[in-house]
Amino acid sequence: MSTPQIEAAPPCNLFLFGANGDLVKRLLMPALYNLNRDGLLDKGLRIIGVDHNAASDSEFAARLEAFMRERDAASQGTSKCLDDKLWARLAKRIGYLTGDFLDEATYQAIAQRIRSNPSANAVFYLATSPRFFSDVVQRLGAAGLLDETDGFRRVVVEKPFGSDLASAEALNACLLKVMSEKQIYRIDHYLGKETVQNILVSRFSNGLFEAFWNNHYIDHVQITAAETVGVESRGAFYDGTGALRDMVPNHLFQLLAMVAMEPPAAFGADAVRSEKAKVIGAIRPWSKNMALKNSVRGQYTAGKQGRKKVPGYRDEPRVDPDSHTETFVALKVMIDNWRWVGVPFYLRTGKRMSVRDTEIAICFKPAPYAQFRDTEVERLKPNYLKIQIQPNEGMWFDLQAKRPGPALAMENVELGFAYKDFFKMQPSTGYETLIYDCLTGDQTLFQRADNIENGWRAVQPFLDAWKDAGEVQPYAAGEDGPTAADELLTRDRRVWHPIG
């Protein structure tokens, strides 16, 4: 089957607020380079960095090039990903604007940049600290830069989108004062990953899956996002945020929504996002006592990551030595609708765990009757469908097969596929699809206001309960969380699916 031809995104002025930050250097600029490599950026695209540090257009482009070459050297060894000719052509379209985010003169200069380019289309990407989101958007509106009379105007907002339900509602209200929902692109880079998007394709294009994708056949669902890194240079930010706020209402709930949503009426942005908002809105709101019972908070202590000794969280730079911020969280949530009633969803995420792994493990109910009495396999192991998001992208289904020989002995075997074995995978940051969709006006993979608020509404009981109780449990770096996380499942006569 031939690959469908994808048209280049329309010409546009792409303004990157916070242009000197890590997000632009590590992810956005490499993603834009990859899109340009694949012919998906119009020659009329202009990339303009906006930040308070003084720099010329050529200096900013040179800085980005130097960082990308360093990244190549670190990750690819002798292999070279940055093509000199491709970069030279892209660099000619890179500019820079020195300005304070809170200064009206900055926005007048932005307007002048748009007027000086052939295209009046503009996308404003807020790769800044969250404290600037409201101020930047309000000033864009006051300067008339969100008016779409002469072209489209869109704003991309990174996470965290609020720190609780009240702040998320306030930020949504602030954005919607100066622009419409169709102009807002709340981004979650997990949704740019191929395997996340493949969940929808696998579920809704294969009749086999849809037949048993319900509480009649599924016992429970586990969603894990394990990291081996610590907080690195983000100590100050992370200490005021924690694992719950950083990962659950956005990344993990988006994965939950992809697994649990009802089939949309069509694969348009509104239909898909409506179904996702419905399922997140159906998460049962726990009381404070139930929130404590169904959650575990952990914090890593000194330990070993592989053979390397690493410090505990409280010894990390810019972290309060008496901090009670969680670096690990495990939750049990229930979805109160017909498809999922009675099926628990167990979520866990943490730093300094044994391996890097983001996966969804769907556990099916055992066969109703075991035919193997008086043998070692009288009790059958459950079947799992494992969807691995990273690092080894793919899907696997495990089942029991008879081991060769005269004895009735069973072996667990896996059927499935890894993306790298079936498809040619180009280097990717995970942002390519999302940036392209924003430039073309497709909001399917972006969060809507009601989705954001429903996520915080489900998380709020845990935040409220932890204010008064809920001690943080220690776990050594290199382990997979505190023992209390295992107990969260063992009391339900279940166990975590091994990660990795």
Predicted local confidence at residue 372, as pLDDT: 56
- pLDDT class for 1, splitting at 50, 70, 90? very low
- Which domains are present in the chain? 13-158 (3.40.50.720), 191-426+448-491 (3.30.360.10)
Q: Which residues contact 404 (CB under 8 A, 6 or more apart)?
A: none
Q: Is 133 annotated as a binding residue?
A: no
Whether the per-residue pLDDT at 267 is higher than 90: the answer is no
Instruction: Return the pLDDT at 379.
Output: 56
Reported as a single tens digit per residue, the pLDDT across 419-475 is 888 877 666 788 999 999 999 999 999 999 999 999 999 999 999 999 877 789 999
Relative to beta strand 295-301, strand 384-390 is: unpaired
What percent of the chain is modeled with pLDDT above 90? 72
Annotated catalytic residue: which of 52, 216, 220, 251?
251
Query: Is 101 a known ligand-binding residue?
Result: yes
Is 159 annotated as belonging to a binding site?
A: yes
pLDDT tens-digit readout, 185-208: 999 888 887 778 888 888 888 888
Ranked by mean pLDDT, which of 36-40, 105-109, 197-201 comes out on top?
105-109
Residues facing 345 on adjacent strands: 221, 333
Residue 456 is predicted with a pLDDT of 96
Half-sphere exposure of 64 (CA within 13 A, CB side): 34
More confident residue, 209 or 37: 37
- Structure letter (DSSP) for residue 249: I
Bridge-based pairing of strands 46-51 and 94-98 is parallel
- What is the dihedral angle through the alpha carbons of 88, 92, 98, 99, rounded to the nearest 10 degrees? -120
What integer is the mean pLDDT of 357-371? 82
Return the H-helix or E-strand segment holding 463: helix 449-468
- Tell me how far apart the alpha carbons of residues 346 and 282 are, in angstroms, rounded to a whole number: 16
Would you say 246 is a known binding-site residue?
yes
Binding site annotation covers 189? yes
Tell me the β-bridge partners of 52.
Answer: none
The Cα–Cα gap between 94 and 35 comes to 15
Residue 76's pLDDT is what? 52
* pLDDT score for 205: 83
pLDDT above 70 for 74: no
Mean pLDDT, the chain, integer: 90
Question: How confident is the model over 12-17, as a mean pLDDT?
Answer: 97
Residue 220 annotated among the catalytic residues of the structure: no
